[in-house]
Amino acid sequence: MRIISGEARGRTLFAPKGLETRPTSDKIRGSLFNIIGARVMDARVLDLFGGTGALALEALSRGAESAVIADSSREARRMIDRNARSVLKDDFELRASVMCADYRVAIGALAGRLFDLVFLDPPYRMVEAYGDALSRLYAGDMLAPGCMVVLERLKQAVVPLPKPFSVVDTRLYGDTAVDFIEIGPMEA
């Protein structure tokens, strides 16, 4: 695994050993960032199930302003920290924050912050976490106008979205689906 594009292009990323972390492949990451395009520039990024930090770090390499990366695993947090320091070098303290926390705790701790780009890629068995995280972020008024949420899931998984979220695009990569989600208008 490596950073695909931007100022840190080619830097190697490390993953925790074992099956607990499922890093997003370089191919999928490259494709999803091509779809996101210029939206990443100056974005405030939140990655709630960081794993290796690859998604948020790719965003930072491509011009995102800052990123918060959370994961509940201590080993994953160590790898994220190592990867972030490698990718960001002297800008680490200014542009990245790494939390060892469950997504619910992380959202609570980040109350009052706004994000332009959110990555949700929990372990596939945690289907309920997608909607729960979206509901908590929306209720906490943490999603900036025009925010995009990128949701990575098992292709056959049915992920019900809370209102007012809607899928604007879905891409399939083998057994993986990536949904691009925006906040739609509230129904009267």
Residue 12 inside a domain? The answer is no
CB 80 within 8 A of CB 53: yes
Partners of residue 170 on adjacent β-strands: 179
The pLDDT-based confidence of 5 (bands split at 50, 70, 90) is confident
In this prediction, residue 10 has a pLDDT band, given cuts at 50, 70 and 90, of confident
- Compute the mean pLDDT over every residue in the chain, rounded to the nearest whole number: 89
Instruction: Give dist(CA 157, CA 31) in Å, integer.
Output: 21
State mean pLDDT over 9-32. 74
Weakest-pLDDT range from 11-25, 86-100, 139-153, 171-185: 11-25
Residue 8 counted as domain residue: no
Task: Give the model confidence (pLDDT) of 44-97 as tens digits.
Answer: 999 999 989 999 999 999 999 999 999 999 998 999 999 998 888 888 888 999
Predicted TM-score (pTM) of the model is 0.91
Strands 143-154 and 165-173: unpaired
Average pLDDT over residues 116-122: 96
Place of tokens 């080993």: 75
Q: Does some domain include residue 54?
A: yes
Tell whether 97 is covered by a domain. Answer: yes
52 occurs within a structural domain:
yes
Residue 171 structural domain: 26-183
Domain annotation covers residue 64: yes
Q: What is the CATH number of the domain that holds 116?
A: 3.40.50.150
| pLDDT surpasses 80 at 188 | no
pLDDT of amino acid 93: 81
The confidence score (pLDDT) of residue 3 equals 76
For 31-36, what is the mean pLDDT?
92
Beta bridge partners of 182: 148, 166
